[in-house]
Amino acid sequence: MMRRNTSKKSNDEFQDRVLDLSRVTRVTSGGKRFSFRATVVVGDGKGRVGVGSAKGLDVATAVQKGRTAAKKNVIRIPLQGRTIPHEVSAKYSAARVLLKPAKEGHGLVAGGAPRAVLLLAGVRDISAKCLGKTNNKLTNAMATIEALKLIRTRFVRSKEPKKEIVASSPE
């Protein structure tokens, strides 16, 4: 089975990838109303990535709305070369994701939703694992985003000496 390339380069700096596309149903008194839900990941490959989900009456509308929603949720992650600075784990709903930095040349070892998020974020050497009890691509992608939000870089202290606070007695 040949895989389609669902990644597109539009006229802006972000690439996008459709992570999940599903038909959803709303039952009304008049019958069933069908619409489509698209989960889209956008990223620039330089440390900025976002995930968005939206519904539309047809597939193209859902994907376009999902792309717009993902661009509104873009975060910046501090990269250390081609990897992340430290190990991090995060939970979102029933999904739990573990991200471990790797040496240069190790490659992107991840599956499913974390792979798409990390690829579009520009992380090239990392190991990621989904530890949660769900296979939902949206929650796994959001757990990956939450883990990326927890990444911190080394704090550089100021060279100025600390000021002493002297308490004065009331007169």
pTM of the prediction? 0.81
Q: Among candidates 62, 13, 12, which has minimal Cα distance to 36?
A: 62
What is the predicted pLDDT for the residue at 33?
Answer: 94
What is the predicted pLDDT for the residue at 12?
Answer: 75
CATH architecture, domain 7-149: 2-Layer Sandwich (3.30)
What is the predicted pLDDT for the residue at 11?
Answer: 56
Q: Along the 171 residues of the chain, how does pLDDT read in single tens digits?
A: 455 555 555 557 899 999 999 999 999 999 999 999 999 999 999 999 999 999 999 999 999 999 999 999 999 999 888 999 999 999 999 999 999 999 999 999 998 899 999 999 999 999 999 998 999 999 999 999 999 999 987 665 556 666 665 666 665
Domain residue ranges in the chain: 7-149
